[in-house]
C-alpha cells in the first residue's frame, strides 16, 4: 500500500537510479532531457548538439596516468636501444587501453546520459583502468591474471551498460536495438575470451589476448552499416578525440623534462620544446579551421584513425626521451623518429578526409606533404646518427608542414593570416 511505483510498476529506487542528474550540467533548465537517452533538446523541441560533459573529461584523465606508466617501460634503457620485443609489448598494451577508450566513447556519444548508472559505469571503468596501469609498473607477463581480469571486468561492465540501455532507452527503435545487441555480444565474447586466455597462458605460455582484441575491433567495425543509417553526433565525437590528443601531447610535455636538467644546453631544450608545440599546432590548426564538425558520418573510421594517432604521438614522446640519452646508439633512434613523424602526418592527411568540403581530399596538399616527407627521410639518412641535428631537421619539417596547411587554407578560404582567427 505504501509502495511508490511508476507507470511500469518499478520501484521509486529504480526510477531514481535511471533519472538524469545534473551534477555537471552548466544549466539544466536549458534542456529537456530524456531519462536515459542522452539526447538534449532545446525547449523549442529542436535537437542540439551533444556537449562533452565534465565526467567524460574526468574519465580521459586516467589515460594520462596509463600512458605515463606505459612509457616507463623504456626508462630502464639508458645505454642500449630497447629490443623490438619491448616495442611490440608496448603497442599491444596501448592498443588495449585505446580499445577501452574507443568502445566507451562510441557508446557515450550515442547513449550516454546523466544517470547514477552511467556515472557508476564510468567510475568503475576508471578504477579498473587504473588497476591495469598500476600492474604495468611490474613485469607485465608475470601479472597476466591481474591485468586480464581488470580488462575483462571493464568489458563486462560495458556489456551490461549496453544491455541496460536495451531495456530502458526511451524511444528506442530496431536500429538502436541492433547496435546495442551487437555491442553486448562483442564485449561479452571478448571478456570471455580474455578470461579463458588466462589458463591457456599459464599452461602453454601462449598469450591469446592480442588476437582476441583484434577480433573484437573487427566485429565492432561491422557496425558501420548501422551507424551509416543513423550518424553519430560528430561534433561531440570530434571533441572527445581532440581532448585525448591534447592530453597525449600533455604527456609529451612531461616526457621532454629530461632536456631541462641542470647542465643541459639551453638551445637543445628550446628546440625540443618548439618541436612539441609545432606538432601540436598542426593538429590544432586543422581542427579549428578545416574540420567539418557537423558532418553526417558513422564516425567509426574517424575514431579508428585516432587510435593509431594517439599511439604515434605517445611513441614520439618515447623516442624524444631516448634521444636525450647520449649513450644509446643514434641511428635506431633517428630511424624511429623519422618513421613516427611521417606516420603522424600521414594520419593527419587521412583525418583531413573529414574536413569541410572545400578542404577535403585536396590532392595538392597530399602531394606536397608526401614530397616533404620523402625529402625529410632522405635528409635524415644523410644526418647519420646525431640526435640534435635530427631534432633540428624534424622541427624544420614540422614548421614547413604547418606553413603548408596555413597557405592552402588561406588560398582556398581567402582569409588573411591572424593568430586569433586561426588558433582559437
Q: What is the pLDDT of residues 126-143, one digit of tens each?
A: 999 988 887 665 566 667
- Quick one: how far is CA 106 from the chain centroid? 11
Residue 29 pLDDT class (50, 70, 90 cuts): very low
Q: In this predicted structure, what is the pLDDT of residue 380?
A: 86
Q: In this predicted structure, what is the pLDDT of residue 345?
A: 96
Residue 33 pLDDT class (50, 70, 90 cuts): very low
If you average pLDDT over residues 47-60, what whole number do you get?
A: 78
If you average pLDDT over residues 11-30, what whole number do you get?
A: 42
Q: In this predicted structure, what is the pLDDT of residue 188?
A: 96
For the chain, give the mean pLDDT.
Answer: 81
Q: What percent of the chain has pLDDT over 70?
A: 84
pLDDT at position 186 over 60: yes
Residue 34 pLDDT class (50, 70, 90 cuts): very low
Residue 422 pLDDT class (50, 70, 90 cuts): low
Spatial contact of 327 and 79, defined as CB atoms under 8 Å apart: yes
If you average pLDDT over residues 355-383, what whole number do you get?
A: 87
Neighbours of 140 (CB within 10 A): 19
Spatial contact of 99 and 217, defined as CB atoms under 8 Å apart: yes
pLDDT at position 418 over 60: no
Q: In this predicted structure, what is the pLDDT of residue 140?
A: 63
Distance CA 402, CA 315 (A): 21
Q: In this predicted structure, what is the pLDDT of residue 32?
A: 37
Spatial contact of 29 and 21, defined as CB atoms under 8 Å apart: no
How far, CA to CA in Å, does 207 sit from each of 69, 199, 395? Answer: 21, 10, 40
Distance CA 34, CA 118 (A): 14
Side-chain-facing half-sphere of 241: CA atoms under 13 Å: 28
If you average pLDDT over residues 265-274, what whole number do you get?
A: 90
Amino acid at each position: 500500500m505504501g509502495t511508490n511505483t511508476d507507470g511500469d510498476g518499478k520501484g521509486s529506487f529504480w526510477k531514481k537510479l535511471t533519472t538524469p542528474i545534473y551534477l555537471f550540467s552548466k544549466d539544466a533548465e536549458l534542456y529537456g532531457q530524456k531519462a536515459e537517452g542522452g539526447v538534449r533538446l532545446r525547449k523549442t523541441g529542436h535537437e542540439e548538439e551533444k556537449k562533452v560533459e565534465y565526467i567524460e573529461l574526468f574519465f580521459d584523465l586516467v589515460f594520462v596516468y596509463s600512458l605515463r606508466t606505459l612509457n616507463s617501460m623504456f626508462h630502464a634503457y639508458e645505454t642500449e636501444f630497447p629490443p623490438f620485443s619491448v616495442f611490440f609489448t608496448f603497442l599491444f598494451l596501448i592498443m588495449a587501453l585505446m580499445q577501452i577508450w574507443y568502445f566507451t566513447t562510441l557508446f557515450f556519444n550515442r547513449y550516454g546520459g546523466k544517470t547514477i548508472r552511467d556515472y557508476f559505469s564510468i567510475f568503475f571503468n576508471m578504477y579498473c583502468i587504473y588497476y591495469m596501469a598500476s600492474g604495468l609498473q611490474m613485469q607485465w607477463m608475470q601479472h597476466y591474471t591481474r591485468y586480464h581480469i581488470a580488462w575483462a571486468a571493464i568489458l563486462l561492465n560495458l556489456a551490461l551498460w549496453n544491455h541496460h540501455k536495451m531495456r530502458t532507452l526511451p524511444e528506442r527503435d530496431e536500429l538502436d536495438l541492433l547496435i546495442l545487441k551487437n555491442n553486448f555480444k562483442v564485449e561479452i565474447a571478448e571478456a570471455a575470451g580474455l578470461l579463458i586466455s588466462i589458463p591457456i597462458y599459464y599452461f602453454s605460455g601462449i598469450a591469446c589476448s592480442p588476437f582476441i582484441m583484434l577480433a573484437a575491433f573487427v566485429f565492432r567495425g561491422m557496425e558501420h552499416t548501422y551507424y551509416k543509417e543513423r550518424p553519430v553526433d560528430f561534433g561531440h565525437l570530434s571533441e572527445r578525440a581532440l581532448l585525448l590528443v591534447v592530453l597525449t601531447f600533455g604527456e609529451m610535455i612531461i616526457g621532454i623534462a629530461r632536456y631541462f636538467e641542470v647542465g643541459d644546453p639551453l638551445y637543445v631544450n628550446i628546440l625540443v620544446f618548439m618541436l612539441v608545440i609545432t606538432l601540436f599546432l598542426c593538429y590544432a590548426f586543422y581542427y579549428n579551421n578545416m574540420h567539418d564538425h557537423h558532418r553526417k558520418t558513422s564516425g567509426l573510421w574517424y575514431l579508428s584513425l585516432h587510435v593509431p594517432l594517439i599511439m604515434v604521438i605517445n611513441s614520439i614522446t618515447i623516442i624524444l626521451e631516448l634521444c636525450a640519452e647520449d649513450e644509446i646508439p643514434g641511428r635506431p633512434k633517428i630511424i624511429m623518429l623519422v618513421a613516427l613523424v611521417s606516420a603522424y602526418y600521414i594520419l593527419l592527411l587521412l583525418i583531413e578526409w573529414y574536413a569541410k568540403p572545400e578542404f577535403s581530399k585536396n590532392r595538392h596538399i597530399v602531394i606536397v606533404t608526401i614530397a616533404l616527407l620523402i625529402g625529410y627521410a632522405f635528409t635524415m639518412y644523410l644526418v647519420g646518427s646525431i640526435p640534435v641535428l635530427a631534432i633540428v631537421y624534424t622541427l624544420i619539417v614540422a614548421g614547413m608542414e604547418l606553413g603548408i596547411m596555413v597557405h592552402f587554407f588561406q588560398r582556398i578560404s581567402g582569409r588573411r593570416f591572424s593568430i586569433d582567427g586561426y588558433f582559437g
